[in-house]
Chain A
């Protein structure tokens, strides 16, 4: 094949970008090794300077990669696959950032970029003692992240995926005709950002979430340094502000995701327990646990192993989540898993490498260390050479688990004294343990596709499916109850021991208030509905939700009390109390808005399907014909028409309510939208009216996006056949038609005598919506025993009748009726919900983030103070 010389390509920039990728990888590797030797050889040595230079080069390279990609996007260099896939010329410039991180490569780059930012802050602020060891691990993580952008082949195995691949070199498109056109660039436009993602959420949510993922790395590198240096306590002081920063920023990222889903996705809620959501929640739950055990350690000492486990697990769960959501393994379990880039094996290796590293650092015996190292590598080579990957992976996991338990027993320092039941540290520890346990339960259920891959056909036969949203809610409610209970009581305990009487006295007032308030709010609900025939699940939910409600109130009351009475209302020191109030409000809002969510769109169909069970009786879809007004909840709602803006079709709905005089007035209007998305098909986008006490949420599940075709308006649709007698009625979309009478020109005898012509006339009376009556007289004509075709058109109503058959035995007649296309008015099917008290949830989010931020600032201040004192 002749080589084509293409016109207008900017090959230099791709090479520059790729050069930066390679440089960033090499520099991170050099930095990691140099920091290792720096850490090994004590505080002042040549290695330190060298390592810092290498890390700076790495940092500059990562920023260089980002700048290059940004420059390419900004200048529409569609010769590059990433630019073509994620942007186009028409797109407003403020979405350029969204294009940047829409793809996998871009989001890895975003992650790596945040790591560089945090890494540089860490290295400037950290105690010199910890610099070498933490930065060695940090740089190693950066080596792995940089390799995700490499896109090179090593022995037929592709490492990473590069954002600097040319469009014509992308294997997906390499055989298309444009590759043969030397001037293809002149006429090429990009595919563009997915229109569904063209909103402000896509601009702010990914950077915050990825900063959250990045921030979990810092407690991880500290914990690993602790294991490495066998100094299990002193690092925790420096790690504490970082951990709370991570709690704050990752929490913000997750909650923003929930807000995005609630505002613009159609699953009618803020949380759906989707694997992608779970995989950001799990690291957060663990890092929250880590932060709290670190507080024990700072104030009293102890809980050492738990601190290490949690600090390490949070980052490992971020890695594992990356594997889950980006390897394509979730397949049919998630609607929004990323596309598979063929990095499954690579991602598994990364997760295993870091687990391996943690265990290796825990072992303090040289012989065991070497044995474990050799054994691990042997198994790895075995897996590469002979396959049987699953059994090898399982045996390695068992060996690792065994070595971990042995090393913990043998080498890890343990607390001598038993913690008192009346001590703060006991309850903080239990709280952290419950958080970890809840995270593991979520991970277990999210990992069902992974278990299928490992165990299906061995431990069980049929492929397991994931569990439902309701199951997740049922599993998580008891955890939430225990956590809130601990949040409520823990602050009143002192470290080591607390006077029981004083404790009970302080707690009894808020507890009493919560029980009285809680019961008076929940017990009436029980009598609203008959629960005698309800299933056990319903009863269980009723009790657990009531308990959750009471305990959430309890937590709010005690933390308010602690803030006002014990801390004398000082905000600066009350970060924890404020954050806990926020968390309790968040759960309270989630509980009320989910359990008391009301479907206000009522299906008026009389068709009952209850015999199949309650699940099958959805009844939540309401049909709204244009111009009709129907009751919906406390409102009357009218569908007034649709408007198309580009690919977005807005359906205008007016909500009416009665004012004081009993007159109907327009309360508000909603414009739920359906996007005619060229890349994903149609996507429904709800519209919500926010009130202080509740939200009215509406989304269109079915609607015609095109305007009714004008050209075909005058045509008739397929006719429908009716069999009936005199006085029967036929329903048209715009009229009710009664068969008034049937007359003949001949009597039966006359027709029998002379078989020339029989005319039977059906007299139909059609009443339209306004009550006006029209007459239609279709005729059945029989000439020489042949039925003559005859049509009667009722032009005023756009109806056509054909009287074509008489059944003398039944005494019935058959009439076909056809309607004109434009008789059928435009209609939509909607679902509408009322979410009560959902603002409590958002208020809780804000308060929690605010409280955590105060806690971070306070921790930094305390650390500075102790540093000065020394």
Chain B
């Protein structure tokens, strides 16, 4: 067998490895219901902040923890405990992605990604009166 063939086989093996890893990896976008069913698995849950319930953050007690209520895309509402300091502008977010798992009735998240509204990003032309 030629050395190039061995290299070829290695390349194919790595490729299969990558594909299998990513197909098996449980990192999928999901919702609270699925996360509740599998409390040991980590999920990315997409949803919206419930802005009517205040965000709890007391750095004097624990600066690495804040909690709020999020409604997932299926309309299920859960209390979220984020194990980080409170993200700035979370109250302005229009979509949130949380990475974490369910524990009892609470979703415990290690990471958060937020999208802010584009209107807020862009602003609009206004004629100043001054």
Question: Chain A interface (Cβ within 8 Å of chain B)?
Answer: 78, 84-85, 167, 172-173, 176, 178, 181, 184, 187-189, 191, 332, 335, 339, 418-419, 421, 426, 430, 433, 437, 440-441, 444-445, 448, 460, 462-468, 475, 603, 605, 607, 609, 612, 615-623, 674, 678-682, 684, 701-702, 827, 829, 831
Contacts and interface: CB of A to CB of B under 8 A. Distances in A.
Contacts of A437: 11, 14
B64 A681 contact: no
Given A433-B7, A612-B103, A679-B122, 11 more contacts: A172-B122, A418-B3, A609-B83, A616-B83, A616-B100, A620-B64, A621-B59, A621-B85, A679-B123, A681-B89, A681-B120
B22 A467 contact: yes
A283 to B, nearest CB: 19
Contacts of B113: 332, 335
A176 B88 contact: no
Contact of A332 (B30, B46, B92): B46
B9 interface: no
A142 to B, nearest CB: 31
Nearest to B127: A187
Contacts of A679: 120-123
Interface string B55-79: 0010111111100000000000000
A181 B127 contact: yes
Contact of A426 (B3, B97, B101, B122): B3
Contacts of A187: 127-129
Given A189-B128, A332-B115, A426-B3, A701 B22 contact: no
Contacts of B25: 464, 467
Given A462-B28, A464-B22, A332 B97 contact: yes
B52 interface: no
A607 B18 contact: no
B64 A618 contact: yes
A635 B50 CA distance: 41
Given A191-B122, A332-B46, A616-B108, A421 B64 contact: no
Given A433-B7, A607-B62, A701 B85 contact: yes
A444 B25 CA distance: 14
Given A176-B124, A332-B95, A464 B27 contact: yes
Nearest to B31: A462
A462 B59 contact: no
B64 A605 contact: yes
Contact of A609 (B27, B65, B122): B65
A566 to B, nearest CB: 26
Contact of B59 (A84, A176, A332, A623): A623
29 contacts: A85-B122, A167-B125, A181-B127, A188-B128, A332-B29, A332-B97, A335-B113, A430-B7, A440-B15, A444-B18, A460-B23, A462-B29, A463-B28, A463-B29, A464-B29, A465-B28, A465-B99, A607-B61, A612-B83, A612-B101, A612-B103, A618-B84, A623-B63, A680-B121, A682-B89, A701-B88, A702-B63, A829-B85, A831-B85
B85 A418 contact: no
Contacts of B122: 85, 172, 191, 679
B110 interface: yes
A377 to B, nearest CB: 31
Contacts of A167: 125
Contacts of B101: 612
Contacts of A419: 3
A622 B63 contact: yes
Q: Interface residue tally of chain B, by bracket? A: 35 or more
Nearest to A702: B85
Contacts of B97: 332, 465
A178 B57 CA distance: 42
A621 B59 CA distance: 9
Closest 3 CB pairs of A and B: A621-B63, A681-B89, A605-B62
A450 to B, nearest CB: 13
B68 to A, nearest CB: 14
B125 A173 contact: yes
A603 B64 contact: yes
Contacts of B46: 332
B63 A603 contact: yes
Contacts of B125: 78, 84, 167, 173, 176, 178, 188, 191
A448 B85 CA distance: 29
A638 B92 CA distance: 31
A335 B93 CA distance: 13
| Interface hub of B14, B101, B103, B129 (most chain A Cβ within 10 A) | B14
Contacts of B7: 430, 433
Nearest to A436: B11
Nearest to B34: A462
Contacts of B57: 702
A433 B11 contact: yes
Contacts of A78: 125
Given A84-B125, A618-B83, A680-B121, A441 B64 contact: no
| Interface hub of B63, B118, B123, B128 (most chain A Cβ within 10 A) | B63
A603 B83 CA distance: 12
A465 B64 contact: no
A301 to B, nearest CB: 16
Nearest to B128: A187
Contact of B108 (A85, A418, A612): A612
B85 A464 contact: no
Given A191-B123, A621-B64, A702-B85, A444 B92 contact: no
A78 B27 CA distance: 46
Contact of B127 (A188, A441, A467, A684): A188
A136 to B, nearest CB: 33
Contacts of B29: 332, 462-465
Contact of B88 (A189, A448, A466, A681): A681
A684 B88 contact: yes
A411 B115 CA distance: 51
B83 to A, nearest CB: 5
A615 B129 CA distance: 53
A616 B92 CA distance: 25
A289 to B, nearest CB: 13
A605 B63 contact: yes
B29 to A, nearest CB: 4
A78 to B, nearest CB: 8
A447 B3 CA distance: 31
Contacts of A335: 113
B71 to A, nearest CB: 16
A620 B116 CA distance: 26
A178 B83 CA distance: 46
Nearest to A605: B62
A671 to B, nearest CB: 18
A445 B22 contact: yes
B59 A829 contact: yes
A831 B97 CA distance: 22
B9 to A, nearest CB: 12
A279 B88 CA distance: 28
B62 A603 contact: yes
Contacts of A84: 125
A246 B25 CA distance: 36
Contacts of A466: 27
Contacts of B86: 702
A217 B95 CA distance: 39
B121 A465 contact: no
Contacts of A701: 84-85, 88
Nearest to B91: A681
A442 B23 CA distance: 15
A189 B126 CA distance: 8
Nearest to B89: A681
Nearest to B93: A681
A463 B46 CA distance: 11
A189 B44 CA distance: 42
Contacts of B115: 332
A720 to B, nearest CB: 12
B130 to A, nearest CB: 8
A178 B18 contact: no
B88 A682 contact: yes
